[in-house]
Amino acid sequence: MKRIFFAAAAALSLFSCSAQNVSEVSAEPPTMYVQDGAQLDIGAPEGYVPLNYSCQHGLWLPYMHFEDYMLGRSEEEFRAGLREILVQAQADGINTVYFHVHPCGDAYYQSDIFPRGVCWDGDYDPLAIALEEAHSLAISVHAWLNPLRCQTQEQMSALPETFIVRQWTADGRAKLLGERWYLDPSYPEVRVLVAQCADEILSRYDVDGIHIDDYFYPTADPAFDAAEFAASGCSDLAQWRLGNINSLVKLLYDTVKSNGSRFLFGISPQGNISADYSTQFADVRLWGSSPGYCDYLLPQIYYGFRNESLPFDTALAQWEELVSAPGVSLVAGLAAYKVGKEDQWAGESGRLEWIEDSTVLSREIEMVESSSADGYALYR
């Protein structure tokens, strides 16, 4: 496996994070979460004590790379390929991975709700193996969900008619945007389905947390949900959409905590705070300043120091100010994938920064380590 970013990180002291002092999870009675008339059954926790760290040094394991070590691989080949990644990650100080289990309305785990992901064609359970291998190395595993993104049009048409999201393509709960379907979060039953995904994983696997990234509203076009907005009686589209996403995030947080208070729920929004509001209707200021929405915010601060619109140091300072609620941690997402590459969105002064300056990533890590943030995560 390629070591894209580890060389820059290895030079720094990455072993300062200590495991949280966790005691046995106390049993909690089963609960029923009700939101706008839609119900979600949440079972009692089984007693697993999650492995989490007070300072995360994280690594995303996205589905886009599953072709490299999952598709067409036997169980032994998949395990060996994944272990190679994890052993290298551990050697370079990584203590947490975000494993992509629900990227496109599908499942890379045993699910009664969602169809298998297209890269999972073997007779084994990829999430179970990921947990075995990571936990054997004392690496925490957060199950990574994309809450609203679903299958392409071609993929959806090939799925059974019993699949709930395929049924929703006929009534507006799922909407086609380009060639891909997206769930509409204005519907309570849509939000409950996303929470059921998290609950299914927590009830079946010893994951340490649930992690979602920035697939909230896929467009700012008012036509996307014009009928639902008109029926809502609200007058402000942006505020209405923010409220829908807040309801989704709150339900996810409550679902995670109902399985055990020490399981973590984290959100990885885009790094530009203004764009979070204007393009995806993600109320990051609320989530970072109020308890009850997340345990950590992991903004994707994928900028160099010479980025013309939003330099890295400016963005980091903005997020440090934004995350203020007790119990909510800030983890900085860093763009390891840009090392040695042209940054076409950085403006002329920043376009070649990652090519001309080999220290960008290591300097960003140093800056995060000296900030108020509780760690960083690398996207390769």
CA pair distance 97, 54, nearest whole angstrom = 14
On whether the CB atoms of residues 51 and 206 are closer than 8 A, the answer is no
Alpha carbons 44 and 193: distance in angstroms, whole number: 19
Q: What is the C-alpha separation between 227 and 230, in angstroms, rounded?
A: 5
Predicted TM-score (pTM) of the model is: 0.89
Rg (CA), the chain: 20
Q: What is the C-alpha to C-alpha distance for residues 292 and 328, in angstroms, rounded to an integer?
A: 9
Q: Residue 90 corresponds to which tokens in the numbers above? A: 């551990």
Phi/psi class of residue 264: alpha, beta or left (left: φ > 0; alpha: ψ in -120 to 50)?
beta
Instruction: With a cut of 50, say whether residue 237 has pLDDT above it.
Output: yes
Residue 46 has what pLDDT?
53
Residue 35 above 70 pLDDT? no
The predicted-structure confidence for 185-195, as pLDDT tens digits, reads as follows: 999 999 999 99
3-state SS class at 8: helix
C-alpha closest to that of 312 among 360, 356, 262: 360
Task: List the alpha helices (DSSP H) in 205-261.
Answer: 226-232, 237-258
pLDDT band at 47 (very low <50, low <70, confident <90, very high): confident
The predicted model gives 215-243 an average pLDDT of 97
Q: Which residue did the predictor score with more confidence, 14 or 288?
A: 288
The CB-based long-range contact list for 348-352 (8 Å cut-off, 24+ gap) reads 348/308, 349/306, 349/308, 350/303, 350/304, 350/305, 350/306, 350/307, 350/308
Q: Which domains can be identified in the chain, with CATH numbers?
A: 6-378 (3.20.20.80)
pLDDT of 365 reads 98
**Average pLDDT of the segment spanning 163-176:** 97
- Strand pairing partners for 96? 58, 140
Helix axes 360-369, 312-322, angle to 10 degrees: 20
pLDDT band at 21 (very low <50, low <70, confident <90, very high): very low
- Within 13 Å of residue 33, how many CA atoms lie on the same side as its CB? 25
Q: Where are the beta strands (DSSP E) in the chain?
A: 31-35, 38-42, 56-61, 96-102, 140-145, 149-152, 174-177, 180-183, 209-212, 264-267, 296-297, 329-330, 332-334, 375-378
Strand, helix or coil for residue 300: strand
Residue 60 forms beta bridges with which residues?
A: 98
Question: Would the pLDDT of 36 be above 90?
Answer: no
